[in-house]
Amino acid sequence: MQRIGVFVCHCGSNIAATVDVKKVVEMAMCEPGVVHAEDYPYMCSEAGQAKIQAAIKEKNLGGVVVCSCSPRMHENTFRKAAEKAGLNPYMVEIANIREHCSWIHKNMEEATEKAVILMKAAVAKVNLNTPLQAGESRVTKRALVIGGGIAGIQTALDIAEAGYPVDIVEKTPSIGGRMSQLDKTFPTLDCSACILTPKMVEANAHPNINIYTYSEVEKVSGFVGDFTVDIRKKARSVDMSKCTGCGVCQEKCPNKKTPNEFNRGLNNRSAIYTPFAQAIPNVPVIDREHCTKFLTGKCGICAKVCQAGAVDYEQQDEIITEKYGAIVVATGFNMINLDKYDEYAYSQSKDVITSLELERIMNAAGPTKGHLERLSDGKAPKEMVFIQCVGSRCADKRGKSYCSKICCMYTAKHAMLIRDKYPDVNVTVFYIDVRTPGKNFDEFYRRAVEEYGVNYIKGQVGKVIPQPDGKLLVQGSDLLSNKQILKEADMVVLAAAIEPEPGVRNIATMLTASIDTNDFLTEAHAKLRPVESPTAGIFLSGVCQGPKDIPETVSQAGAAAVKAIGLLAKDKLTTNPCTAKADELMCNGCSQCANVCPYGAISYETKLINDHGVREDRRVAVVNSALCQGCGACTVTCPSGAMDLQGFSNRQILAEVDAICR
């Protein structure tokens, strides 16, 4: 039996208002093993911790129960306090009487009764606790950044500047991401390429940064500080070391009928291509699904015209295995598919476009060389209608429940740019709300309305009907004057919702990182740990965590980098000692535990076992505590009951069950 101390926290009035803390203290003293019990307004405060430490020393405590907030909040605080007083930190248990009791119950009698039971369960558990020693694991001083958009580039640059090597894995042929597709950026209207491309060049030239483009993460194993990652470098069909980036192959390629992804399919590209002129690396890729040579075997022009002899049709995918200490996810976003929003006639008319398509049209390197024109007939539009919140803030299942956050601002930008360049074009914006928080954002929106005369109408558009003369009839409502509106437009621009890049769920699964129902990666704490995943060693950068604009993305990218640097700066990490352990006397070496172990932490050894005087060689399970993450799958699978989990042992959990059901 341990000598146990029970410490009941008032948490100001958070606990004390609904739980009779004195009663909990009184009841604690009746529990077997409890030699000390007291309450204090704030146990987590320095004075509260000092009380615990004093009691440990004076009463020679072997176990501590703190009845307070969730262990997810302060378990570490109290463990550290106990350790300073000379107690093994794993002899501390928390009874969660705030989140699981005082905050959800209103009746004092009921809440007190429950708090007492939770205290008893924790006392019963701590009675069976054994001192555990945290191990150490090495930190591989190298970071992986998944995604080469502005978020990934910024994170990689910041980590590299701190002196640690970084690899960027980008699935498309060039880094740059969504930002490279944008024309101008709000609220300053500087050109996107002018601020992005120098960063791309810097990342490419940085001695600490290694970029794998046209590559994807295929497999991740290991844990914080020691991840092993397989990266599939897809066959580019062009030798990167030989290619000079002259571009002749792209010019001469006879197959120019592939939709150009970079221009959102608004024009076509050749089968051998670089996504855009400033691509990094400036080495083309052969799109094997569309290349005549790969489809029919007859062509090979690019190989003939390449003076450097870089084209290599035989190139194979390559798997690179590398070790990393930290992984940053920066997978970014895409626009939602508009198939379910056919009332806006997106599939029926070429002149109904998304905002990202408009970015390409407005861009000097885009399909129309920067001239605003209708894609159906090439005529200059006179009336333009913008529809906000297409798929964002959507109550039904068709769209997304969240606000995409960037659309209000980029629509104000588009409207302003159009009115500035083409003053004769009328611009109307249908909106639900205009949301412009951010530095100089509301001023920007007001300039669009006041200086550039953009017509903002509060109301939604019900339907867009293509007319026989090529115009588009927009049916909407004006909520402020309560009128139905019919408006003829030459072009309609849809602010489609943004969604996380489709592959992110797969990546999250490989990383065992949490992901929410919208496929945004979950942060460890919504307010206090916004750039860390709950999975140790995984950090979040950019839109993969939630919608955000460029300034926010860049600041988050920097924050993620700092967190990763903080990890890489350590030489060793302490490991979780709550790992599985096999009882060699009971183990019969059946291998079932190894089959369910997700970490490959269990192996078998033949050992000389002394079983009550009988000495024999037996095959027994051995857990590698550096690999074991402590899930406990093996403990339940083991048919002989040899496997147990330290810190959550069978006897400990059963003691808790008994205390609750007593």
DSSP, residue by residue, 30-95? TSTTEEEEEEES-TTSHHHHHHHHHHHHHTT-SEEEEEES-HHHHHHHHHHHHHHTTS-GGGEEEE
CA distance readout (Å), 654 to 144, 381, 657, 661, 662: 42, 74, 5, 10, 12
| Pairing outcome for strands 602-611 and 614-623 | antiparallel
Q: Note the Cα 561 to chain centre separation in Å.
A: 14
DSSP, residue by residue, 268-334? EE-SEE-SSTT-SS---EE-TTT-HHHHHS---HHHHH-TT--B-TT---EEEEEEESEEEE---EE
**Nearest of 120, 264, 248 to residue 178 by alpha carbon:** 264
Q: Does position 575 bind other proteins by CB under 8 A?
A: no
Pick between residue 612 and residue 662 the one whose CB is nearest to other proteins. Answer: 662
Long-range contacts of 645-648 (CB under 8 A, 24+ apart): 645/578, 645/579, 645/580, 645/581, 646/130, 646/132, 646/577, 646/578, 646/579, 646/580, 646/581, 647/90, 647/129, 647/132, 647/577, 647/578, 648/578
Among 181, 215, 354, 635, which residue interacts with other proteins (rule: CB under 8 A)?
635
Give the Cα separation of 28 and 126 in Å (integer): 13
Among 202, 516, 549, 584, which residue interacts with other proteins (rule: CB under 8 A)?
516
Pick between residue 115 and residue 492 the one whose CB is nearest to other proteins. Answer: 115
Q: Does position 502 bind other proteins by CB under 8 A?
A: no
Q: Does position 615 bind other proteins by CB under 8 A?
A: no
In angstroms, give the least distance from the CB of 579 to other proteins. 10
Backbone angles phi, psi at 385, to 5 degrees: -120, 130
Segment interacting with other proteins, rule: CB under 8 A, options 114-122, 242-250, 309-317, 323-331? 114-122
Q: Does position 658 bind other proteins by CB under 8 A?
A: yes
Longest dimension (CA), the chain: 99
- Identify any residues that bridge with 184 across adjacent strands, giving them in sequence order: 191
Give the Cα separation of 639 and 651 in Å (integer): 17
Q: Does position 99 bind other proteins by CB under 8 A?
A: yes
In angstroms, give the least distance from the CB of 478 to other proteins. 36
Pick between residue 64 and residue 286 the one whose CB is nearest to other proteins. Answer: 64
Q: Does position 12 bind other proteins by CB under 8 A?
A: no
Give the Cα separation of 351 and 341 in Å (integer): 15
Among 596, 609, 622, 626, which residue interacts with other proteins (rule: CB under 8 A)?
596
Give the Cα separation of 7 and 274 in Å (integer): 65
Segment interacting with other proteins, rule: CB under 8 A, options 30-38, 166-174, 284-292, 627-635? 627-635
Segment interacting with other proteins, rule: CB under 8 A, options 295-303, 332-340, 478-486, 650-658? 650-658
Residues 120-139 that bind other proteins (CB under 8 A): 121
Among 509, 603, 606, 610, which residue interacts with other proteins (rule: CB under 8 A)?
509
Q: Does position 219 bind other proteins by CB under 8 A?
A: no
DSSP H helical ranges for 451-604: 504-511, 550-568, 592-596
In angstroms, give the least distance from the CB of 508 to other proteins. 8
- Token digits for 412? 């104000």
| Pairing outcome for strands 472-478 and 190-191 | unpaired
Q: Note the Cα 427 to chain centre separation in Å.
A: 37
Q: Does position 395 bind other proteins by CB under 8 A?
A: no
**Nearest of 61, 43, 48, 45 to residue 123 by alpha carbon:** 61
Contact 69, 98 (CB under 8 A): yes
Segment interacting with other proteins, rule: CB under 8 A, options 28-36, 281-289, 303-311, 634-642? 634-642
Q: Does position 645 bind other proteins by CB under 8 A?
A: yes
Give the Cα separation of 309 and 303 in Å (integer): 7
Segment interacting with other proteins, rule: CB under 8 A, options 43-51, 384-392, 400-408, 513-521? 513-521
Contact 394, 436 (CB under 8 A): no
Pick between residue 113 and residue 183 the one whose CB is nearest to other proteins. Answer: 113
Q: Does position 547 bind other proteins by CB under 8 A?
A: no
Contact 414, 444 (CB under 8 A): no
Pick between residue 589 and residue 630 the one whose CB is nearest to other proteins. Answer: 630
Q: Does position 592 bind other proteins by CB under 8 A?
A: no
Query: Total binding residues for other proteins by CB under 8 A?
Result: 51
Segment interacting with other proteins, rule: CB under 8 A, options 98-106, 292-300, 367-375, 543-551? 98-106
In angstroms, give the least distance from the CB of 71 to other proteins. 7
Q: Does position 117 bind other proteins by CB under 8 A?
A: yes
Q: Does position 626 bind other proteins by CB under 8 A?
A: no
Q: Does position 578 bind other proteins by CB under 8 A?
A: yes
Q: Does position 27 bind other proteins by CB under 8 A?
A: no
Among 118, 327, 361, 602, which residue interacts with other proteins (rule: CB under 8 A)?
118
Pick between residue 112 and residue 388 the one whose CB is nearest to other proteins. Answer: 112
In angstroms, give the least distance from the CB of 647 to other proteins. 8
Q: Does position 98 bind other proteins by CB under 8 A?
A: yes
Q: Does position 106 bind other proteins by CB under 8 A?
A: yes
Contact 425, 419 (CB under 8 A): yes
Pick between residue 571 and residue 658 the one whose CB is nearest to other proteins. Answer: 658
Among 174, 363, 426, 535, which residue interacts with other proteins (rule: CB under 8 A)?
535
Phi-psi region of 163 (alpha: psi -120 to 50; beta: other; left: phi over 0): left
Q: Does position 512 bind other proteins by CB under 8 A?
A: yes
Q: Does position 84 bind other proteins by CB under 8 A?
A: no
Q: Does position 631 bind other proteins by CB under 8 A?
A: yes
Q: Which residues are CB-contacts of 561 (< 8 A; sequence separation ≥ 6)?
A: 154, 155, 156, 157, 158, 159, 162, 328, 541
- Identify any residues that bridge with 572 across adjacent strands, giving them in sequence order: 138
- Token digits for 38? 């007291």
Binding flags for other proteins, 47-76, as an x/- string (CB under 8 A): -----------------------xxx----
Q: Does position 515 bind other proteins by CB under 8 A?
A: yes
Among 55, 101, 139, 356, which residue interacts with other proteins (rule: CB under 8 A)?
101
Among 167, 557, 629, 642, which residue interacts with other proteins (rule: CB under 8 A)?
629
Among 58, 110, 343, 433, which residue interacts with other proteins (rule: CB under 8 A)?
110
Residue with tokens 């205390």: 659
Residues near other proteins, by CB under 8 A: 70-72, 96, 98-101, 103-107, 110-111, 113-114, 117-118, 121, 509, 512, 514-517, 522, 534-535, 578, 596, 598, 629-633, 635-637, 645, 648, 650, 653-654, 656-658, 660-662
